[in-house]
Structure 1
Amino acid sequence: MGFVANGNNTPSQIEIKSDPFYPIILLDHIREIVRIDSAVTNERLKQAIIEEVLDINRLLVSLKAKASVLSELSTTQINDQPETDFLYLSAVANGVAAKVNENYRNYDSSNSGAKRADQAEGTVDDYRRNKQWAIQHLLGENHTVVELI
């Protein structure tokens, strides 16, 4: 379950800049990727993006010892962009999608709202999984860890 755009959004031109090692995140790009409509204000979305950027940067801090910018760690390009930039954006977008879907499903407390919330749980988990996979890919780790007992 995502927020399907049903209203017009005025382009915000808001950029989320963090450590120069990481790519800049555009609020409007996240809004398009995750299909978040105008029910989520720019300020609320900006806050969610900043929280995710902080979390992801914390998880990827070990990469800073390997290069001066994240894109230097890329082994391939897609549409003339380093794969690492796409993976970073994917991690942020999926984290924001999980956060927004989890927070905004609480507003409809009717029976149909409760049913949709149950259905959204799988989606929230999917977003979290996709975020984790993007982070693991950036770290050069496998998606699944299996240990023999």
Structure 2
Amino acid sequence: MSFVANGNKTPSQITISSDPFYPEIALDDIRETVRIDGTVTNERLNQIAIEEVIDVNRLLISLKTPEAQTLAHYSAGFIAGKPYTDYLYLSAVANGVAAKVNEKYRSYDSSNSGNKRADDLTPSIDESRRNKNWAIQQILGKNHTVVELI
């Protein structure tokens, strides 16, 4: 029999609700979406997720108008009974959480293998940030990339 220190996790049943305009986010959904294992405690993950919800809400504040009661108002359709915007909102928050978790946890091992692992995580952190920005851009109805001529 083998021992896997971070293999199992207990469902947290923790949800984060902010302004009623935005959908609730379940901590377990974040874990599953961006594959965060049990080495990150629910308490730590919850704090990081709250920070990301605050940031994503700040970036989407321009969508809150008297005509739009929820973020779903801006959805172009539904999948499995949920508006597109719910999935994109979860993606934005979860990818922001993944970037922060990878940044924090890569610095705990200062050995040579730890330094190599930290270097290996840098592209993953950048990809998570990119995915967060893309989800936000999609919600805002904008293209993923904006190019300006100098």
Identify the TM-score tier after normalising by the shorter chain.
over 0.9
| Structure 2 residue 122 is the aligned partner of structure 1 residue 121 | yes
Q: Equivalent residues in 2 for 1:53-64 (5 A)?
A: 53-64=53-64
Q: Equivalent residues in 2 for 1:73-92 (5 A)?
A: 73-92=74-93
After superposing on structure 2, the runs of 4+ consecutive aligned residues of structure 1 that deviate more than 4 Å are: none
**TM superposition shift of 1:87:** 0.4
- Secondary structure, in 3 states, of the residue corresponding to 1:106? coil
TM-score by length of 2: 0.92
**TM superposition shift of 1:75:** 0.7
TM-score by length of 1: 0.93
1:131 is aligned to 132
Q: Which has the higher helix share?
A: 1
Percent of paired sites with the same residue? 69
**In 1, distance between residues paired with 2:90 and 2:33?**
10
Please tell me the root mean square deviation across aligned C-alpha atoms, in Å: 1.2
**In 2, distance between residues paired with 1:23 and 1:104?**
28
Show CA shifts across 1:3-49 (max 9, x none): xx942111111110100000000011111112111111100000000
**TM superposition shift of 1:143:** 1.1
**In 2, distance between residues paired with 1:134 and 1:78?**
16
| Structure 2 residue 32 is the aligned partner of structure 1 residue 38 | no
- Secondary structure, in 3 states, of the residue corresponding to 2:31? helix
The alignment covers a number of residue pairs equal to: 145
**TM superposition shift of 1:122:** 0.6
**TM superposition shift of 1:69:** 0.2
Counterpart residue type for residue 78 of structure 2: Q
- Secondary structure, in 3 states, of the residue corresponding to 1:68? coil
**In 2, distance between residues paired with 1:107 and 1:131?**
25
**In 1, distance between residues paired with 2:147 and 2:40?**
39
Structure 2 gap ranges (5+) = none
Greater CA drift, 91-100 or 6-15: 6-15
Counterpart residue type for residue 58 of structure 2: R
**TM superposition shift of 1:146:** 1.4
Counterpart residue type for residue 52 of structure 1: E
**TM superposition shift of 1:106:** 0.7
Structure 1 gap ranges (5+) = none
